[in-house]
Amino acid sequence: MKNYYILIALLFTIPATMAQDAEPLRELAKKHEIEIGAAVGPQQIQNDALYRETLAREFSMVTTENALKFRPTEPQQGRFTFDDADTIIEFAESNNMKVRGHTLVWHSYLPNWVENNDWTREEAIEVLRNHIETVVSRYEGRIFVWDVVNEAFENDGSLRDDSAWYEAIGPEYVEMAFRWAHEADPDAVLFYNDFGAEEMNAKSKAIYEMAKDFKERGVPIDGIGLQMHIPFDHHLSGRSIRRNIQQINDLGLQVHITELDVRIDTPVTDEELQEQADVYEEMLKIALEAPNCTAFITWGFTDRYSWIPSFFEGTGAALLFDEDYNPKPAYQALNAVLQTPPAQINRWKERNQ
């Protein structure tokens, strides 16, 4: 009878060890010259050994999910706090991981002293400049890429006007932010990041036009982040996503898939987990075929900690590992794609200069 229980116990450990037996994603990704990453939180790093172990084993890049947003870093004017960001960055550095700093300028997650401001335009410019200069220069040479501005456009391609920065400064705040970030760390890679702009649409057209204008006028920008928060039964066109990545490439800019998660209505079925795996597979193939796509980041990596269930009620299970860090079909799908020899990936024309 004892052997029966040993056998049962073994069956529950096999899935978790499967990830450890497979070559980690980060090792396989090296051959494709792409970073594989995840958004992370400081508390999870501090308190969860399996989180640390899985993160360090599988990923070569981390994004600070919330720790480097405006509210946590400058909760009161002129008073900066970086403990949470330091936890993430120190972990990344001790595990040879690159860091995506997210995000210097966003309309959301702002402290009250910014939301309820009564600044003149000049005062607003100085507040934003000082914030960017303080945060970016603190991590000069340690943060590889910044999401300088996040979600500045509406779906119709207009600039979002429900932003404290737009209201106080005007549309120029976007360009100013990129220039200030570059001044604070000339070697940092600077991205614009947004959701719902993966395909060719009014939003991605507006982003393209902005980036084209920036490139023509010498405003420092290096890439566009496609967040890619999608349902498992999405209707995105792979062809349209490829065309969008290609037009960004034609500007000489990089693309990062910055926040991929594939939510499923809960409770999930095995069929839906396989459909989810198919979506992850499709998006990674699109990324690998694009010579200018240099990072593939999921927004978290274990269903134990995901923003999805609290933001999309009735959905969840959006990530690569389940709540017990067992690899899901989505993880297996990514691992399988990355095992493809790079020469067999039909990468379209090399990146334009």
By CB under 6 A, tell whether 259 contacts ligand G3I. yes
First-residue to last-residue Cα distance in the chain: 67
Positions in 271-330 near ligand G3I (CB under 6 A):
307
Longest CA span, the chain = 78
Is residue 140 flagged as an active site residue? Answer: no
CB-nearest residue to ligand G3I: 307
Helix (H, G, I), strand (E, B) or coil at 148: strand
Is residue 259 flagged as an active site residue? Answer: yes
By CB under 6 A, tell whether 150 contacts ligand G3I. yes
By CB under 6 A, tell whether 348 contacts ligand G3I. no
Nearest approach in angstroms of CB 335 to ligand G3I is: 25
Residue 80 vs 307, nearer CB to ligand G3I: 307
Q: Token digits for 4? A: 């029966």
DSSP secondary structure, 257-325, as one string:
EEEEEEEEESSP-HHHHHHHHHHHHHHHHHHHH-TTEEEEEES-SBTTS-SHHHHSTTEE--SSB-TTS
Nearest approach in angstroms of CB 228 to ligand G3I is: 10
Element (H, E) at 46: helix 42-47
- Which of 66, 73, 249, 315 forms a contact with ligand G3I (CB under 6 A)? 66
- Which of 46, 109, 314, 339 forms a contact with ligand G3I (CB under 6 A)? 109
Residue 168 vs 197, nearer CB to ligand G3I: 197
| 298 HSE (CA, 13 A, CB side) | 28
CB atoms within 10 A of CB 47: 10
CA distance 234 to 318: 13
By CB under 6 A, tell whether 198 contacts ligand G3I. no
| 4 HSE (CA, 13 A, CB side) | 1
CA distance 93 to 233: 37
Give the active site residue among 151, 198, 199, 272.
151
Dihedral angle over CA of 269, 270, 272, 276, nearest 10: 140
Interface with ligand G3I by CB under 6 A: which range of 62-70, 159-167, 176-184, 277-285?
Answer: 62-70
- Which of 19, 26, 54, 65 forms a contact with ligand G3I (CB under 6 A)? 65
With tokens 């024309």, the residue in question is 349
Positions in 167-196 near ligand G3I (CB under 6 A):
195
- Which of 54, 60, 163, 227 forms a contact with ligand G3I (CB under 6 A)? 227
Residue 38 vs 168, nearer CB to ligand G3I: 38
Q: What does the binding site for ligand G3I look like in residue numbers (CB under 6 A)? A: 65-66, 69, 108-109, 150, 195, 227, 259, 307
